[in-house]
Amino acid sequence: MLILGNGIVITLNKDSEIISKGGVVIEGGRILDLGDTSILQKKYPHAIFKNVQGKIIMPGMINTHTHLYSTFARGMDLKTAQLPTKFGEILEKLWWRLDKALGEKDIYYSALYALLDCIKKGTTTIFDHHASSNLIEGSLDILEEAVQQSGIRASLAYEVSDRDGHQKALAGIRENERFIKKIKRNNSGYLNGMIGLHAAFTLQNSTLEKAADLADELETPFHLHIAEGKEDYYDSKTRGYKGVAYRLNQHRILRPGTLAIHGVNLSEEEWEILRDSGSYLIHNPESNMNNAVGALPIQAVLNKGVQVGLGTDGYTADMFESIKVANLLQKHEMKDPQAGGQEIFDLVFHTNREIANKFFDKKLGTLQIGAPADLIVIDYYSPTPINRNNFYFHLLFGITGDRVDTTIVGGKILMEGKEIINLDYKILTQKVQEQAFNFWERF
């Protein structure tokens, strides 16, 4: 039994309760109790006591869209005379070439580095979207191994695509099927599988139908990009549909629990299709800005009743950074200083939590008795009081992922005092860099 005490406990429970001089008692991977530190110490005199000395104690962050395979792209020479000028070219000149070149060690070390980065930035649950079109079968097992080593929770999916031929698409469907069946057999609570699809514009109708049949059989929804760039929209128009969501809905891809990523180029009628299907729309502000694809008008989408979550698309592992950028992007885009307020907070602490609860544990994302002990300690000493009404402003103006001091998942300490426990971070990052150098030679 462990008590983390003398902190400011941000419970994020239904009353947004904050406990000053508070503590959390952890036993058997779950939260046994929480409240005033001195009371907890008296109640549990034999527990190991860790004094966090006024730091913040809060639930670990949840990222509902990322790509563990993207690590080696950082600083990579694209070896092309003409750098990409639009979104479609970014895919062709960078991502689709990168995913073709990924081998077993590349997938493993890319993932391991990205996962360690999650621990460092306080992200304890992720939803990953993987592609490696010359190593499809077994690729999710390689990610699984890295996830297990890291100790965080991850939903994995292989992004099926016809872009490298229909046989590869079929192999992608088989990989999702194999992995999801395996995960369902040995459910650890740490791993989950969804059916990944790249995006409508690289998928034939027959592939969509096959994938939908599998989703029916496995009762598992999809994880796919939707209307990220204009290319996806024009493709659906060319195929005779009114838009991307119309096409995906007709082929049974939009369904309860489907994670539809980006949605920058959807019409208002398509937001309604998403809402009525029970899908989630996942906003990735930094990625959208970096690819210059436009900005999702969050408040307008929410006003339609769409459920919107927040992801990073592999741009960063730091959800605190993503919150800050989401807030600024809305204000900047709408020319409205009130935009990006409570709604961004809700994407992260309401909808992302709801998604994690759907696929993992019912109580992830809050500090309450019986919840999984997924929590982080942040060395943030505020110049102003912190209360339930102003915590969001401390997130926007003070707290960053680099201030995360301790990360605990399922009661296991993965990082303490900013040091990764159980894995040698320095040696691992050196191996990652050697592998990256080797990969760049082959790219």
Q: Which residues are at the interface with Zn ion (CB under 5 A)? A: 313
Query: How is residue 384 written in tokens?
Result: 């102003």
Q: Which residue is nearest to Zn ion (CB)?
A: 313
Question: Closer to Zn ion at the Cβ: 313 or 346?
Answer: 313
Q: Tell the smallest beta-carbon distance from residue 145 to Zn ion (Å).
A: 22
φ/ψ region of 257 (left if φ > 0, alpha if ψ in -120 to 50, else beta) reads left
Burial 58-68 (b: 16+ CB within 10 A, else e): bbbbbbbbbbb
Q: Tell the smallest beta-carbon distance from residue 23 to Zn ion (Å).
A: 39
Question: Closer to Zn ion at the Cβ: 312 or 366?
Answer: 312
Return d(Cα 57, Cα 407) in angstroms, integer. Answer: 10
Question: Closer to Zn ion at the Cβ: 44 or 233?
Answer: 233
Coil, strand or helix at 283? strand
> Sheet of 307-310: strands edge to edge?
195-199, 222-226, 259-262, 280-283, 307-310
Question: Closer to Zn ion at the Cβ: 318 or 405?
Answer: 318
Question: Closer to Zn ion at the Cβ: 56 or 259?
Answer: 259
Question: Closer to Zn ion at the Cβ: 128 or 144?
Answer: 128
Q: Tell the smallest beta-carbon distance from residue 196 to Zn ion (Å).
A: 10
Q: Tell the smallest beta-carbon distance from residue 311 to Zn ion (Å).
A: 8
Smallest Cα–Cα separation from 123: which of 318, 281, 291?
318
The full DSSP string for 352-400 is HHHHHHHHS-TTTTS--TTSB--EEEE----SS---TTTHHHHHHHT--
Query: How is residue 422 written in tokens?
Result: 């159980």
Backbone angles phi, psi at 212, to 5 degrees: -65, -35
Residue 148, Cβ density class (10 Å: 0-12 exposed, 13-18 middle, ≥19 buried): middle
Beta bridge partners of 38: none
Return d(Cα 18, Cα 344) in angstroms, integer. Answer: 20
Q: Tell the smallest beta-carbon distance from residue 84 to Zn ion (Å).
A: 16
Element at 325 (helix H, strand E): helix 319-334
Q: Tell the smallest beta-carbon distance from residue 138 to Zn ion (Å).
A: 22
Question: Closer to Zn ion at the Cβ: 72 or 391?
Answer: 72
Question: Closer to Zn ion at the Cβ: 225 or 394?
Answer: 225
Q: Tell the smallest beta-carbon distance from residue 315 to Zn ion (Å).
A: 9
Question: Closer to Zn ion at the Cβ: 313 or 374?
Answer: 313
C-beta separation of 396 from 323 below 8 A: yes
Q: Tell the smallest beta-carbon distance from residue 87 to Zn ion (Å).
A: 12
Q: Tell the smallest beta-carbon distance from residue 283 to Zn ion (Å).
A: 12
Distance of CA 350 to CAs 14, 264, 273, 385, 410, Å? 10, 21, 21, 24, 21
